Amino acid sequence: MENVEREWISYRGCTELTGLSRGTIWKLIGAGHVRAAKVGTSVLINRRSLEQYLQEQNYVEFTRQ
């Protein structure tokens, strides 16, 4: 069976994909950083907007000298 990448994913899918908590994802949606849609009682998160947000975050690790 072919592995299909979904454009819209659930909270569970987001947490499995990113390792972020449901609360963190909820905050990102509330702040407008990540797109989401409510369908019935489910919330679906736009995978592309989530990936784009994560790619735009700069992280530089440094060590004390």
The residues spanned by each domain of the chain are 8-48
| Whether pLDDT at 65 is above 70 | no
Q: What is the pTM of this model?
A: 0.78
pLDDT band at 1 (very low <50, low <70, confident <90, very high): low
| Whether pLDDT at 2 is above 70 | no
CA dihedral 56, 46, 5, 40 (to 10 degrees): 160
pLDDT, tens digit (0-9, with 9 covering 90-100), for 13-48: 999 999 999 999 999 999 999 999 999 999 999 999
The backbone region for 40, taken as left when phi is positive above 0, alpha when psi lies in -120 to 50, beta otherwise, is left
Which token pair is 10? 């659930």
